[in-house]
A and B are shown apart, each in its own frame.
Chain A
């Protein structure tokens, strides 16, 4: 187990380095550092002001390898940034100069307040509804629910957001249409609507998937045995199908856990929640390469961490699996 963990962790290094190189290449292939400076400084910036901006942020260095005579080969933009990231120094925003560790720290909580309840409640509702549909399978209500799920899946998230904001916040006046305030339980009034929309927008796909998983489980031999012994349908579903079906869910669910911290780009923007989705959205729009780079760095670490966690959980939940 230990050697497996160590091996997986060592694999992280080349993978993250590769991701960073790819991000660097993609970003600067799309636009040069000079173009980024133009964007940040605006159309009135003179070429001299652009040069000064680049120099103060080290963007006037060679991109990958320094081939300027009398200068060390490793004094390049990419290598200096990688050396910094290797020590988990995220640096400062290119646009505002704020330390990125502070930016990410401040953005993580609002994101988690939105995504964790939505994830947990969404999961509970999806599993509950999927079980219910399995319970009444092939009935008219099951058919209707399947159609409803397809309809829910087909509606773009943006439509849910605009419609929800208009109807619930504007017409019914139940919740603030926009805004966020971290203040104990009263924070809930800003989160209720985006959480509800996040759940509804993902419900159709999740229910369909979980229903299929549970139906597959229902066809197993041990279920037939349980039924033959006279166990009721409800108990079969809640005790056996649910428990064994959850092992399959682990692979789907655990890998997505680390991403909860990255928030929801769309909902955060439309509801004014100052989370990390909002930070990333602004950084891409600007563009702020330092923020994008740090986000990709953290995102790739989270993704790899999620995959590792999935494997560990799978081995824990299913005794047939052994990690070597």
Chain B
């Protein structure tokens, strides 16, 4: 065959290949086909599509503590208690695997017993670890096994450090296992006593009402011993089994049907699920028309969930615009395209029926001031001056698009003790800051000898954003005439410095609520929690604060407790062991076919309450993804012209 013929044939082949591929037969839908087309009743199979930032590190309920892991495990592994999806002010717990909230029995010397009864007839997911592959009933010994796993050093349960202070015998079992190098599962934990098939008691060595919140976390969720023993990561009959940490066997509304590492996690509904139903109350009356029809309905409300792993944020926005994601968080990359300067959704997306949500996390971010530092520690006025010099509203406008709430107090909104009307007495006020600095012995930033006061600001990371942030922070304090030396640290090094107390001002500190109780924030300034014992990185010591903490920590929420929390807040506001920054808020969007139902930030997505209109989605996806033909034609013309030019040149030679 001549060269000319070869070129012609290649051009023809390319055209034949490109035309159907680009023109129609190739869909831009990135997802695999749903598990089923229709449900058992013939209704359309409903699949929700969401995004994850990475693979979960572990789905072992006794280990899972990171945000992604908690999101993935929530629909799979139910807890003994759970948060009500609508009651957030104050937050309210409701029974999940338990029949009712535990009965509390006070004992001598502050000892407390929580009597718990599991719901009967709740089944673990069908799984090969059980005989015949059929999930067995959850019983009290599964909770006992979970507590034994908490005390196993090889499991590395993050809850151990707290729970061992309260649950009788937990710390002793852990220490014994640590010394021997192997946990002894035949040894019972005295603080967890099984009293019947479905009943058990948790014995505490001291009063600790917050235990209820720990019962709403996966750490204390029942675990089937068969599952842990079956999924050992080894080969059996030539087939390698997963590790238990990648193969949770829970009782939740969904089971993981597929986990492709670095790609996606798919969940399908648990056909035996009957633990909970849609709540019958608790929502805002304005949403009654939307939510009343769902009251009492069986859960979950969709059949399948597909979570895709995105390591970059740009593709999330692309897929959302195409209708291939049902919801998304508004990150920096897409902010200006989606949100108007007035912090509203842009008209273009309103017309598409997209809804904008603003969620405030129960969290507080601040800069830690080291109370053991010889310059900052003894000089309260100096710390007050630093706090008053920091222009937090501008900082949030520049670096967070003005979305978060300026923190006026340690306690975030929704947590008992948060006072809406409270204003930080040392919030941004430059004139006041200068006056305070003069009172502190450093008029215009100079000491009595005229020497400029130099302080060190430790920041994390070296990215462009972090560097700009550090420059801004430096400039704020230098307005007072001080000299601020910025030290950039890798994140882990900053954590080390915070633990060692080798800093003066440390940026990037913060705390997100493990549970919605003031104790979970105020313990950050309890003197017994100075590292290595805990997370009091500022090394704040105040006998009055400690006394109030001891009193408040064991109290039930009520006016008296709120009064104590207010006093503690006032102490922190005056002593200034930190420069308060923000309570983090995020914008997120939902598509018209997938309105958001639950509104509780303590839930990790609340997937069992998610709804979907698959018909509307199908129609809009079709409308938003029509293909243009002109680029293909243009491409073919260019290709033909180049081929023709080549052929002509060949013929000339």
A178-B646 in contact given A38-B491, A46-B161 (Cβ < 8 Å): no
A179 interface residue, CB < 8 Å from B?
yes
Which range contains the number of A residues in contact with the other chain?
Answer: 35 or more
**A173 to B322, Cβ gap below 8 A?**
yes
**A308–chain B nearest beta-carbon distance, Å:** 31
**B318 to A169, Cβ gap below 8 A?**
yes
**A269 to B311, Cβ gap below 8 A?**
yes
**B628 to A272, Cβ gap below 8 A?**
no
**A272 to B309, Cβ gap below 8 A?**
yes
Which of B260-268, B284-292, B399-407 lies at the interface with chain A? B260-268
Residue of B at shortest CB range from A136?
B649
Which of B27-35, B125-133, B420-428, B604-612 lies at the interface with chain A? B27-35
A162 interface residue, CB < 8 Å from B?
yes
**A321–chain B nearest beta-carbon distance, Å:** 31
**A241–chain B nearest beta-carbon distance, Å:** 14
A174-B627 in contact given A96-B58, A97-B245, A234-B653 (Cβ < 8 Å): yes
A149 interface residue, CB < 8 Å from B?
no
Interface of A is mostly: helix
Chain A residues near B439: list those with CB within 8 A.
none
Chain A residues near B496: list those with CB within 8 A.
32, 34-35, 38
B644 interface residue, CB < 8 Å from A?
no
**B263 to A272, Cβ gap below 8 A?**
yes
Residue of A at shortest CB range from B496?
A35
Task: Give 1 or 0 for each of B313-331: 1 = CB within 8 Å of chain A CB.
Answer: 0110011011000000000
Which of B74-82, B192-200, B204-212, B528-536 lies at the interface with chain A? B528-536
**B532 to A178, Cβ gap below 8 A?**
no
A75–B490 CA distance with the chains assembled, in angstroms: 29
B294 interface residue, CB < 8 Å from A?
no
B57 interface residue, CB < 8 Å from A?
yes
B44 interface residue, CB < 8 Å from A?
no
**B490 to A42, Cβ gap below 8 A?**
no
**A38 to B492, Cβ gap below 8 A?**
yes
Chain B residues near A88: list those with CB within 8 A.
none
Residue of A at shortest CB range from B625?
A173
**A186–chain B nearest beta-carbon distance, Å:** 9
Chain A residues near B649: list those with CB within 8 A.
135-136
B66 interface residue, CB < 8 Å from A?
yes
**B311 to A36, Cβ gap below 8 A?**
no
**A97 to B492, Cβ gap below 8 A?**
no
Residue of A at shortest CB range from B157?
A49
A30–B489 CA distance with the chains assembled, in angstroms: 10
A271–B31 CA distance with the chains assembled, in angstroms: 13
A282–B625 CA distance with the chains assembled, in angstroms: 32
Identify B627's interface contact among A38, A135, A173, A180, CB under 8 A: A173
Identify A42's interface contact among B32, B65, B311, CB under 8 A: B65
Residue of A at shortest CB range from B315?
A178
The A-contacting residues of B in range 151-174, CB under 8 angstroms, are 153-154, 156, 158, 160-161
Task: Give 1 or 0 for each of B488-500: 1 = CB within 8 Å of chain A CB.
Answer: 0011110110010
Identify B65's interface contact among A44, A48, A181, A234, CB under 8 A: A44
Chain B residues near A282: list those with CB within 8 A.
54, 262, 311
A232–B308 CA distance with the chains assembled, in angstroms: 57
A36–B532 CA distance with the chains assembled, in angstroms: 17
B620 interface residue, CB < 8 Å from A?
no
Task: Give 1 or 0 for each of B442-455: 1 = CB within 8 Å of chain A CB.
Answer: 00000000000000
Residue of A at shortest CB range from B645?
A141
Residue of A at shortest CB range from B495?
A38
B230 interface residue, CB < 8 Å from A?
no
**B389–chain A nearest beta-carbon distance, Å:** 25
B21 interface residue, CB < 8 Å from A?
yes
A165 interface residue, CB < 8 Å from B?
yes
**B58 to A49, Cβ gap below 8 A?**
no
Residue of A at shortest CB range from B511?
A44
**B66 to A175, Cβ gap below 8 A?**
no
B233 interface residue, CB < 8 Å from A?
yes
A52-B262 in contact given A172-B627, A178-B310, A270-B314 (Cβ < 8 Å): no
**B262 to A56, Cβ gap below 8 A?**
no
Residue of A at shortest CB range from B29?
A176
Q: Which has the most chain A C-beta neighbours within 10 Å: B58, B490, B625? A: B490
Chain B residues near A278: list those with CB within 8 A.
262, 311
**B119–chain A nearest beta-carbon distance, Å:** 31
**B318 to A165, Cβ gap below 8 A?**
yes
Chain B residues near A177: list those with CB within 8 A.
28, 30, 315, 318-319, 322
**B315 to A47, Cβ gap below 8 A?**
no
**A295–chain B nearest beta-carbon distance, Å:** 15
**B233 to A178, Cβ gap below 8 A?**
no
**A118–chain B nearest beta-carbon distance, Å:** 17
**B26 to A96, Cβ gap below 8 A?**
no
Task: Give 1 or 0 for each of B202-246: 1 = CB within 8 Å of chain A CB.
Answer: 000000000000000000000000000000010000001001011
A48–B529 CA distance with the chains assembled, in angstroms: 13
**B233 to A179, Cβ gap below 8 A?**
no
Task: Give 1 or 0 for each of A14-57: 1 = CB within 8 Å of chain B CB.
Answer: 00000000000000001110111111111111111100110010
A132-B653 in contact given A96-B58, A165-B314 (Cβ < 8 Å): no
**B49–chain A nearest beta-carbon distance, Å:** 11
A274-B260 in contact given A43-B510, A141-B645, A172-B631 (Cβ < 8 Å): yes
A271–B312 CA distance with the chains assembled, in angstroms: 9
**B318 to A96, Cβ gap below 8 A?**
no
A270-B55 in contact given A46-B535, A49-B158, A179-B31 (Cβ < 8 Å): no
A297 interface residue, CB < 8 Å from B?
no
A175–B158 CA distance with the chains assembled, in angstroms: 43
Task: Give 1 or 0 for each of B278-308: 1 = CB within 8 Å of chain A CB.
Answer: 0000000000000000000000000000001
**A171–chain B nearest beta-carbon distance, Å:** 7
**B243 to A97, Cβ gap below 8 A?**
yes
**B57 to A183, Cβ gap below 8 A?**
no
**A39 to B653, Cβ gap below 8 A?**
no
**A225–chain B nearest beta-carbon distance, Å:** 18
Chain A residues near B495: list those with CB within 8 A.
35, 38-39, 43
**B178–chain A nearest beta-carbon distance, Å:** 8
Residue of B at shortest CB range from A135?
B649
B186 interface residue, CB < 8 Å from A?
no
A98 interface residue, CB < 8 Å from B?
yes
**B56–chain A nearest beta-carbon distance, Å:** 9
A270-B312 in contact given A38-B496, A42-B65, A49-B161 (Cβ < 8 Å): yes
Chain A residues near B653: list those with CB within 8 A.
135, 232-234
A170–B315 CA distance with the chains assembled, in angstroms: 10
A48-B30 in contact given A35-B490, A272-B309 (Cβ < 8 Å): no
Chain A residues near B318: list those with CB within 8 A.
165-166, 169-170, 177-178
**A46 to B245, Cβ gap below 8 A?**
no
**B95–chain A nearest beta-carbon distance, Å:** 27
A95 interface residue, CB < 8 Å from B?
yes
A189-B490 in contact given A47-B532, A96-B55, A136-B649 (Cβ < 8 Å): no
A261 interface residue, CB < 8 Å from B?
no
A272-B308 in contact given A39-B491, A47-B499, A165-B315 (Cβ < 8 Å): yes
Known: A53-B156, A179-B308, A232-B653. 13 other contacts (CB 8 A): A38-B496, A46-B532, A47-B531, A56-B153, A98-B243, A173-B28, A173-B322, A173-B628, A177-B30, A178-B308, A178-B318, A234-B3, A270-B315
Nearest first, the 10 A-B pairs at minimum CB distance are: A179-B30, A35-B492, A274-B262, A47-B532, A176-B30, A178-B315, A38-B495, A38-B492, A177-B318, A39-B492
| Chain A residues close to B by CB (< 8 Å) | 30-32, 34-49, 52-53, 56, 95-99, 102-103, 106-107, 132, 135-136, 141, 162, 165-166, 169-181, 183, 189-190, 192, 232-234, 238, 269-272, 274, 278-279, 281-282
Q: List 21 A-B contacts (CB under 8 A).
A: A30-B490, A31-B492, A35-B493, A38-B496, A39-B490, A46-B161, A56-B153, A96-B246, A98-B261, A132-B646, A135-B653, A136-B649, A141-B645, A166-B318, A170-B318, A170-B322, A171-B628, A172-B628, A175-B26, A181-B32, A272-B262
